């Protein structure tokens, strides 16, 4: 995980407005959001192993991805770039579990904090710079 300095840090604004702006730059609300915090994620590669992530915390109200009339306020954190490594091919330690297969559809990263190559850091900075331009001063 490599932090990237940004003018967005500590910026406070409405959740829905922020989500809509970030969606224009290919960000999505990260899958492990909660009602009081979460992440906006943007893949930097086609394999979805390298990500630009902007964390946030809710300062007033609760977020709900489905509600378009949501009035929650959020404060953006320090963006960072991270890389996940996954095992290629079959998992040698896998076992057949019918009930578990209903829940465990996706492989966990073998290294959730892999080394990020310099060109991905530059790519993340460029994507973040373009994103910053969308936010009013």
Structural domains present in the chain:
2-87+94-132 (3.30.310.100)
Mean pLDDT score of the chain: 83
d(CA 57, CA 15): 10
Tell me the CA distances in angstroms from 8 to 63, 85, 129, 133, 135, one per residue in order: 19, 28, 10, 10, 8
Higher pLDDT pick, 104 / 53: 53
pLDDT of residue 92: 53
**Tell me: the pLDDT tens digits for 18-30?**
999 999 999 999 8
Single pTM value for the model? 0.78
Q: Is the dihedral of CA 112, 115, 117, 121 positive or negative?
A: positive
Radius of gyration of the chain (CA): 17
pLDDT of residue 62: 86
pLDDT band at 90 (very low <50, low <70, confident <90, very high): low
pLDDT of residue 75: 98
Residue 7 clears pLDDT 70, i.e. is over it:
yes
């Amino acid at each position: 995980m490599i932090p990237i300095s940004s003018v967005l840090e500590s910026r406070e604004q409405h959740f829905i407005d922020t989500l809509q702006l970030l969606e224009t730059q290919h960000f999505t609300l990260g899958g492990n959001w909660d009602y009081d915090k979460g992440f906006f994620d943007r893949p930097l590669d086609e394999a979805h192993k390298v990500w630009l992530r902007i964390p946030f915390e809710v300062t007033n109200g609760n977020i709900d991805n489905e509600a378009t009339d949501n009035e929650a306020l959020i404060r953006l954190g320090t963006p960072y770039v991270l890389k996940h490594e996954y095992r290629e091919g079959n998992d040698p330690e896998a076992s057949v579990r019918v009930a578990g297969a209903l829940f465990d559809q996706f492989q966990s990263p073998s290294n959730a904090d892999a080394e990020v190559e310099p060109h991905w850091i530059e790519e993340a900075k460029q994507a973040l710079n373009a994103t910053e331009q969308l936010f009013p001063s």
